[in-house]
Amino acid sequence: MENKRLTIALFSGSLDKLTAAGIILSGAAADDMDVEVFVLLQGARAFMKGIAENNDKLELAENPKLKAEFMESLEKLNVKPWLEFFREAKELTNVKIYICGLAGKVWGGEKLDDFVDLADDIVGIGECITSMEESDIHLFI
């Protein structure tokens, strides 16, 4: 039997939504799903080297004033950083992470080496749309 497929279009580069995407990705990996993550616009900034590893350079989408409280709660609950969810999911199952070419350029990312080592390739939006058409579940975060 073929694994179910999940496609995530990750538009947001905010800590709260990156964390949510990581948790969803972790659940999909635990269910042995094949996952493709397409990192779009602000999401591409979050995956850039020097930003991905530094939560001080990322804000919250819903209420930026709650960032300190959010971070304290995650730490108190021993919730790992968003980037670790992505790393662990890639180790568990077939997860591919693609950076949108235009989104990367918006933030100065011209080549794959400009992004964290989790990124598999730089692609066009057409690949994201095709993946969504072919997947069992698709999410826009």
pLDDT value of residue 61: 83
User: Which residues partner with 6 through β-bridges?
Assistant: 35, 137
Contact 127, 103 (CB under 8 A): no
pLDDT value of residue 25: 95
pLDDT value of residue 2: 84
Chain segment 85-94, per-residue pLDDT in tens: 999 999 998 9
Q: What is the 3-state secondary structure (H, E, C) of the chain?
A: CCCCEEEEEECCCCHHHHHHHHHHHHHHHHCCCEEEEEECHHHHHHCECCCCCCHHHCCCCCCHHHHHHHHHHHHHCCCCCHHHHHHHHHHHCCEEEEEEHHHHHHCCCCCHHHECCCCCEEECHHHHHHHHHHCCEEEEC
For the entire predicted model, the pTM comes to: 0.93
Q: Give the residues of the chain that fall short of pLDDT 50.
A: none
**5-140: CATH topology:** Hypothetical Protein Ychn; Chain: A, (3.40.1260)
pLDDT value of residue 62: 79
Chain segment 39-52, per-residue pLDDT in tens: 999 999 999 999 99
pLDDT value of residue 75: 93
User: What is the C-alpha separation between 73 and 135, in angstroms, rounded?
Assistant: 34
Residue-range domain boundaries for the chain:
5-140
